[in-house]
Amino acid sequence: MGYGRALLWFYGLFLVLAIDGGSVMGLSRCKFPAIYNFGDSNSDTGGISAAFLPVPPPNGETFFHKPSGRVCDGRLLIDFIAESLGLPSLSAYLDSIGTNFQHGANFATGGSTIQPQNLSLFTGGFSPFSLNVQLWQFSQFKMRTNELYQQGNTSIKCNLPKPEDFSKALYTLDIGQNDLAAGFQSMTNDQVLATIPNILDQFSQAIQQLYQLGARAFWIHNTGPIGCLPYSVIYYPLKPRNLDQNGCVKPQNEVAQEFNRQLKDRVSQLRGILPQAALTYVDVYSAKYGLITNAKKQGFVEPLKFCCGHHEDGGYHVDCGKKAVVNGTEVYGASCGNPSMYVSWDGVHYSHAANHWIANRILNGALSDPHLVITHACHRSPR
């Protein structure tokens, strides 16, 4: 066996052992009792729906068979993360009705950004619950939980985490896409690029604040190929030379790649600043772009098509689950009826089938730095 093949064989064995959940290179499986998630609609399990108007059908039709607060026909990456750790799906922090937070809470809301935006949800589509607000919410959640335990309130213990679980939990972050999307609306690509260091300054501060609040294990997603979202292609000025071989908006993807490069550098720097933190950087971009590149080979239709909603070249569109009157006729943004064939659910968000495919590529550690399966993400990267 040649050196190259032997190296590949060894790496494959490493991943197989990791997926089996046993000891990998002397590392034991982490016992995460809870997950605390921060992000946008890519990981929102009901926050924006609880705060404002509920997400309408046909969202949720594939897995939940009814709207579940997710802008998707089924589950999101965060749901597959929870499942892989043997935990229930996360409840949205903002959902106050019959909610159980024993195994964590989800602070993500659709439209959230790292940097607070001057536009409101109704004028620009951006959530008022930016990352700093999500951290305020988490801080209060932890403080109130500890107070109730100290008071000996036994009636709440079945719905809240144990105080000691906060330091043992996994902290997941999937946010930043909307910061770039907001920039594309009003700035040139070069101007958007110039904002990235300030955005990541605030992201780094958020990680350090969570660390000060007791967080130790972090699972950090980079941003996806924004230029491959069907709506990005639809609303981008017609410049064929700016489309790549897959029909994606190349300049927008280049900005996303630069964001990810700088994000990875920041995570590396944070490892030196936070000596007890285990920080895993996850290359979701590569997983998503890999699916888009090979969509048809993986059983999907053309990746720039989407299942739910209605769009015409004549200049109008109807969002998924909504109605509009066009030329005197009511048009409904309905489901295609077979979302498992589509990468994109509604032109912006990935389908349940696509999320499942992507989860299978990221949870085994193959696209992570360091290369650790998620069940081993409590272990610090060697320096």
Order the strands of the 278-282 sheet from edge to edge: 104-106, 35-39, 170-174, 217-221, 278-282, 368-369
Distance CA 131, CA 110 (A): 12
The contacts of residue 115 (CB under 8 Å, 6+ apart) are: 130, 179, 195, 198, 199, 202
Q: How many CB atoms lie within 10 A of CB 14?
A: 18
Cis peptide before 237 (omega within 30 of 0): no
Catalytic residue among 346, 352, 376, 379: 346
Task: Provide the 8-state DSSP code for 247.
Answer: S
Residue 84 · residue 376 · CB < 8 Å? no
In the numeric block, which tokens belong to residue 122?
Answer: 């109704």
Residue 146 · residue 131 · CB < 8 Å? no
Catalytic residue among 317, 349, 352, 376: 349
Angle (CA) 179 114 249, round 5°: 20
Quick check: is 346 catalytic? yes
In the numeric block, which tokens belong to residue 370?
Answer: 């360091």
Quick check: is 174 catalytic? no
Quick check: is 41 catalytic? yes
Q: How many CB atoms lie within 10 A of CB 61?
A: 20
Catalytic residue among 41, 49, 335, 344: 41
Distance CA 176, CA 178 (A): 5
The contacts of residue 197 (CB under 8 Å, 6+ apart) are: 262
The contacts of residue 57 (CB under 8 Å, 6+ apart) are: 66, 67, 321
Catalytic residues: 41, 346, 349
